[in-house]
Amino acid sequence: MANDIPLPVRLTEGVVWITGASSGIGRELARRLLDEGWTVALTARREPELQSLAHLYPRERVLVVPADVIDAAAMAAAAARIEAETGRPIVLAIANAGIWQRMGMNDFDVDAFRNVIAVNVLGTANMLAAVLPSMRARRRGQIAIVASVAGYLGLPRASAYGASKAALIHMASSLRAESAQSGILVQVINPGFVATPMTASSRASQPFVLSAEEAAARIQVGLSATRFEIAFPWPLVLAMKLAKLLPWPIFFRAIRLAPRRN
């Protein structure tokens, strides 16, 4: 087993913990996993939105745990509360909490940049720090980090968001390299454009955009397999990965010529 990739966890083994569960992909994924029979712990800052979802399911299978992912102590306390109140270990941690901030040369702001990194990167790190010790002790668990195809390469006006998602891809791939030794399956989720409240304010072109429901369905399927990257939709993923192979002058020329909304 030492050289094998760990298998996905099963719902009989424990609890799912999802951050960013109050809206968008996180909420739809939580709903799908609850429908599948999982016990799910929901975390976000907006408790009323979490409660509105929790009320649709049996109380013993859903736990609302409000917390701010940038607060390391709150995240550690949330993990401890989940395991204490359910009496079961967190076996699947889905680090989904994130924010989008348009930022280019004309609106570059270091405080806003810091906030994007704090939520998207350090918030994910806080969740991992809260679950990894017990997963390592059991030599069993599954971690899914929600990044984005925006992390593949630099795109206009995505200097903060893209940088944060690139960091998450790097984080996930680094941890994945230790999967066989740790017994923990690590995956990265790289969606393309998804219609969510977070992206509603974006004026950028959004080719192949999916609904949050469609995105959650694809993620659910990916979580049941062992592959490292869960990326979609494939036409956009393929185009972005091919763009990474272009020489820089050609890449930047293609970016300048690409249609986009102002």
Task: Note the pLDDT of residue 257.
Answer: 84
Choosing from 38, 152, 161, 193, the catalytic residue is 161
The pairing of beta strand 210-211 with beta strand 229-232: unpaired
Task: Note the pLDDT of residue 258.
Answer: 74
Kindly state the tokens that stand for 68.
Answer: 């701010």
Q: Is 161 marked active-site?
A: yes
Fold annotation for 15-257: Rossmann fold (3.40.50)
Q: How many residues does the chain have?
A: 262
Which alpha helices (DSSP H) does the chain contain, by range?
A: 24-36, 47-54, 72-86, 110-117, 123-138, 159-176, 179-182, 212-223, 234-243, 248-257
Beta bridge partner(s), residue 153: none
C-alpha distance from residue 246 to each of 79, 162, 253, 259 (Å): 43, 18, 11, 19
- From first to last of its 262 residues, the chain has per-residue pLDDT tens of 445 899 999 999 999 999 999 999 999 999 999 999 999 999 999 999 999 999 999 999 999 999 999 999 999 999 999 999 999 999 999 999 999 999 999 999 999 999 999 999 999 999 999 999 999 999 999 999 999 999 999 999 999 999 999 999 999 999 999 998 999 999 999 999 999 776 656 556 678 899 999 999 999 999 999 999 999 999 999 999 999 999 999 999 998 887 665 4
Task: Note the pLDDT of residue 204.
Answer: 61
Q: No. of H helices and E strands in the chain? A: 10, 9
Q: pTM, whole model, 2 decimals?
A: 0.94
User: Residue 2, Cβ neighbours under 10 Å: how many?
Assistant: 6
Residue ranges per structural domain of the chain? 15-257
Kindly state the tokens that stand for 174.
Answer: 């680094």
